[in-house]
Amino acid sequence: MSGKFITVEGGEGAGKTTQLAFMREVLERAGCRVTSTREPGGTALGEEIRSLLLDHRHDGMALATETLLMFAARAEHLERVIRPALAAGRWVLCDRFTDATYAYQGGGRGLPPERIAILEDWVQGGLRPDLTLVFDVPVAVGLERAGRRGAADRFEREEKVFFERIRAVYLDRARRDPGRCRIVNADRPVEAVRTEVEAILAGWLERG
């Protein structure tokens, strides 16, 4: 079976990282070879870019700089990790991808989506995820979960309304692209979310 490119998305504390680890287990049990990775990051250079992006020393970074750094990390990630893994028949599970740029830089910070689309076409060519799971939780619930983790990064310090705009963009994009996206209600116990995630993956595995 050829590999698929699956991304997980959602606001702060939606449980993406928790569920991604479980998704890997499900796929491996089914005999798939899996590469798990994340954005921004996933390569040595990408992780350095991630540190710059999350660091409070760069509060007030220009929106164009922030967006271009996201895509710089993504270009490296595609070239060195994602495309080679897919070409080798591996499944790629990626914690955030370009939907996050539409949600955070677009919805959150107000960058017109047309600008993001130009970068998306340039950096990715025709490559888009086969499946995107959007983990959806009310903002207050996600922030409370994320807050338990400790020090907030440059994004996590934003106002609640910033995260409301992000949530709205994620939901809008998912509803407009039902062939690729599934919205998962993540405001439930971990086990209940897992059950739904497993059912979605089972459908993909059956399709082959």
Residues that bind ligand Z5A (CB under 6 A): 10, 12-18, 39-40, 70, 95-96, 100-101, 104-105, 145-146, 148-149, 153, 155-156, 186, 189-190, 193
Q: Which is nearer to ligand Z5A, 2 or 58 (CB)?
A: 58
Q: Which is nearer to ligand Z5A, 16 or 90 (CB)?
A: 16
Beta pairing, strands 131-136 & 5-10: parallel
Q: Give the burial string for 10-36 (b: 16+ CB within 10 Å, else e).
A: bbbbbbbebbbebbbebbeeeebebbb
CB of 208 to ligand Z5A, least distance (A): 29
Residue 132 in contact with residue 174, Cβ under 8 Å?
A: yes
CA distance 130 to 9: 14
Q: Which structure tokens are listed for 28? A: 């491996």
CB of 154 to ligand Z5A, least distance (A): 8
What are the two backbone dihedrals, phi and then psi, of residue 194, each rounded to the nearest 5 degrees? -55, -45
Q: Which is nearer to ligand Z5A, 76 or 95 (CB)?
A: 95
Q: What is the DSSP letter of 106?
A: I
Q: Which is nearer to ligand Z5A, 145 or 182 (CB)?
A: 145
CB of 68 to ligand Z5A, least distance (A): 11
CB of 120 to ligand Z5A, least distance (A): 10
